[in-house]
């Protein structure tokens, strides 16, 4: 029986890795072609900023809806259903015949991205709990690695002047195939566990302390302000402000994700050796220096190097935040993780606002991001909280995070 459980645990972990890879692939394939989307639809900088602002808002709604479904059905079912729709929505964005269709398909993308984000992280923290050790950064490393491949694909697509519809359809087909294959192997909701009632959830929520979660959440918000500006606007920054070609412009995101991958690949081992607080503090310093370099860059090459350094430092913040949340949740329901996840979307929204306001001088957005890394540095101790009574000291949380 133990061997059977071990095999199922390993299979679920591999499937969760696949989900992170698919999500990184589709997200990067979209955001690195934002300049081409803007050109194809003749969008003003203001309209583009509003679209990019709307995505995390709608994604927050999707995350909340997923959180309401996971206690009853499990995160695996939610992920298995939602992820193919993310990929289909990207294809629809590429085929959108007009502005109204673009707005609608982008909203659908945001809705399903939020659902996938919540459910795939729930799968990851379930794996971390079952293995009893830090694993979260490894999952996010897979996300980043897939983003590298997508960014390189977009550089090629831009070089040969591939249409948006074809450029999105090819990675989407690959992503759907992987998603359908891995979906059946995700961690299932335990058959004997009934979903908690609303009264039980309210009682459980009161036992999760808010103050340490807010400290972690503020740092996460600051990280995502910088990440949002980098993910959504780095290609535009290189192309419009630093006069890079369409082939070179996506490489800023590629470099950012390459060094995020390198950082996250080894971060689990470093966290185990030195503790999350020291790792986050070091990451804040490194990330801030990288963003300053990108903001002050005189040419695309220097900017790409700056984004690479930023990715190396900022990569550790999000996965360690989920692990820290697990130490604050005595319920085993993932309430703390869900609360921290809300700050992700707050950061994305604020990042879109900052970058949109600085659309004609995007270096300002990266200078603001660099300044905010000081907040992350000051919050670093909060990433290694003393576990509350009943919470797992070394793992994150069990299945079924709820809002």
- The average pLDDT across 218-234 equals 92
Confidence of residue 123 (pLDDT cuts 50, 70, 90): confident
Q: Which domain holds residue 227?
A: 2-185+203-383
DSSP 3-state percent helix, strand, coil across the chain (nearest 5): 80, 0, 20
The pLDDT of residue 389: 57
* Statement: residue 365 has pLDDT above 90: yes
**Residue 35 and residue 155: Cα distance in Å, rounded?**
12
* Statement: residue 395 has pLDDT above 60: no
In a domain, 399, yes or no: no
Q: Give the CATH number, domain containing residue 211.
A: 1.20.1250.20
In a domain, 341, yes or no: yes
Answer with the residue of higher pLDDT: 269 or 98.
98
DSSP string, 101-143: HHHHHHHHHHHHHHHHHHHHHHHHHHHHHHHTS--HHHHHHHH
Whole-model pTM: value is 0.77
The per-residue pLDDT for range 283-328, each reduced to its tens digit, is: 999 999 999 999 999 999 999 999 999 999 999 998 888 888 877 8
8-state DSSP, 75: H
In a domain, 193, yes or no: no
Structure tokens at 230: 């980098």
The pLDDT of residue 298: 96
- Sign of the Cα pseudo-torsion (143, 147, 149, 153, in order): positive
What 3-state DSSP class applies to 378? helix
| Contact between residue 154 and residue 251 where contact means Cβ atoms under 8 Å apart | no
In a domain, 41, yes or no: yes
* Statement: residue 195 has pLDDT above 70: no
Confidence of residue 38 (pLDDT cuts 50, 70, 90): very high
In a domain, 398, yes or no: no
In a domain, 197, yes or no: no
Total structural domains within the chain: 1
Longest dimension (CA), the chain: 62
Confidence of residue 67 (pLDDT cuts 50, 70, 90): confident
In a domain, 38, yes or no: yes
In a domain, 320, yes or no: yes
| Contact between residue 5 and residue 205 where contact means Cβ atoms under 8 Å apart | no
Mean pLDDT of the chain: 86
The per-residue pLDDT for range 339-350, each reduced to its tens digit, is: 887 788 889 889
Q: What is the dihedral of CA 374, 376, 380, 384, to 10 degrees?
A: 180
Answer with the residue of higher pLDDT: 361 or 133.
361
């Amino acid at each position: 029986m133990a061997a059977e459980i071990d095999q199922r645990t390993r299979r679920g972990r591999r499937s969760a890795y696949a989900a992170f890879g698919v999500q990184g692939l589709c997200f990067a394939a979209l955001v690195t072609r934002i300049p081409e989307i803007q050109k194809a639809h003749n969008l003003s900088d203001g309209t583009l900023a509003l679209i990019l602002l709307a995505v995390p808002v709608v994604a927050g709604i999707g995350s909340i809806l997923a959180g309401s479904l996971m206690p009853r059905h499990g995160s695996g079912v939610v992920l298995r259903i939602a992820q193919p729709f993310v990929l289909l929505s990207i294809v629809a964005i590429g085929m959108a015949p007009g502005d109204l269709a673009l707005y609608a398909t982008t909203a659908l993308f945001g809705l399903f991205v939020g659902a996938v984000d919540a459910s795939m992280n729930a799968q990851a923290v379930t794996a971390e709990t079952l293995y009893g050790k830090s694993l979260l950064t490894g999952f996010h490393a897979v996300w980043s690695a897939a983003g590298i491949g997508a960014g390189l694909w977009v550089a090629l697509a831009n070089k040969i002047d591939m249409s948006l519809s074809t450029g999105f359809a090819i990675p989407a087909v690959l992503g759907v195939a992987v998603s359908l294959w891995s979906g059946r192997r995700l961690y299932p909701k335990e058959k004997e566990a009934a979903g908690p009632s609303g009264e039980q959830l309210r009682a459980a929520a009161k036992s999760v302390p808010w103050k340490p979660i807010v400290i972690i959440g503020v740092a996460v918000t600051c990280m995502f302000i910088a990440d949002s500006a980098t993910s959504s606007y780095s290609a535009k920054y290189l192309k419009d402000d630093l006069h890079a070609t369409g082939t070179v412009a996506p490489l800023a995101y590629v470099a950012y994700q390459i060094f995020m991958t390198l950082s996250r690949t080894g971060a689990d081992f470093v966290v185990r050796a030195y503790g999350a607080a020291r790792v986050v503090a070091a990451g804040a310093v490194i990330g801030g220096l990288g963003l300053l370099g990108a903001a002050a860059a005189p040419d695309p090459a220097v900017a790409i190097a700056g984004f690479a350094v930023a990715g190396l430092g900022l990569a550790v913040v999000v996965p360690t935040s989920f692990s820290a949340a697990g130490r604050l949740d005595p319920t085993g329901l993932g309430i703390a993780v869900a609360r921290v996840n809300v700050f992700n979307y707050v950061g994305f929204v604020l990042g879109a606002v900052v970058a949109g306001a600085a659309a004609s001088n995007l270096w300002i957005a990266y200078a603001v991001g660099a300044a905010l890394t000081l907040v992350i540095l000051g919050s670093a101790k909060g990433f290694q909280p003393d576990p509350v009574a009943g919470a797992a000291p070394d793992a994150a949380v069990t299945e079924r995070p709820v809002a």
